Amino acid sequence: MGEKNLTMKDIAKLAGVSQPTVSRVINKSSKVSKDIEERVKDIIAKYNFKANESAKILRGNKSKTIGLIVYNFSNYYYLEMVKYVEKEIRKKGYTLIVMNSENSKEIELDHIKKLLSKNVEGILIAPICIKNLKFLKNKELPFLVINRIIEGYSYVSTSLYKGGRIATEYMVKNGYKDICFIG
């Protein structure tokens, strides 16, 4: 085989099996004998074959992609969030698409539409515009509002006040008397 990207059909030809058998190996089906599975996996490894994710989506398979829209990357809170969200979803075989709305409701809506066009399976959003949330809600795609409490929407939020209180109570309980906050 030349330098072109191999298809599942090419892999099947090299392995002496059908294209659906290659698909079953890639998708970890138990309907393939061990020796055929190993033969197909060896060829996949030899040619560094990667399945076409776009083709999977077109066939109705899930995209294994989550979108994250924040309104400003100058807030380090969101950079940390991206780090941990990406790490956790990667463990489950998902990919994260991160977008910055730059505090613009127009850019936020455009990002929502782009994520929908990529068939993401869900969106995490730190919104700036309720109208955009209503638009998203009408699309019947799972989404979660982050770091804001908005009535009628599922959300996850933090409280700096409660966090400060917990930290202070811990210090007082452990005998500290001179406590200050710098923020």
> 8-51 with 65-160: one CATH topology?
no
From CA 145, how far away is CA 132, in angstroms rounded? 12
State the average pLDDT over residues 78-106.
93
- The H-assigned helical ranges of 31-159 are 34-46, 53-58, 76-91, 105-117, 130-137
What are the sequence ranges of the domains in the chain? 8-51, 65-160
Q: What is the pTM of this model?
A: 0.63
Superfamily of domain 65-160: Response regulator (3.40.50.2300)
Report yes or no: 69 and 125 within 8 Å, Cβ to Cβ.
Answer: yes
Fold of 8-51: 434 Repressor (Amino-terminal Domain) (1.10.260)
From CA 150, how far away is CA 131, in angstroms rounded? 12
Confidence of residue 161 (pLDDT cuts 50, 70, 90): confident
pLDDT at 123: 97
pLDDT at 23: 81
Query: Using one digit for the tens of pLDDT, what is the confidence trace for 45-61?
Result: 888 887 765 555 445 55
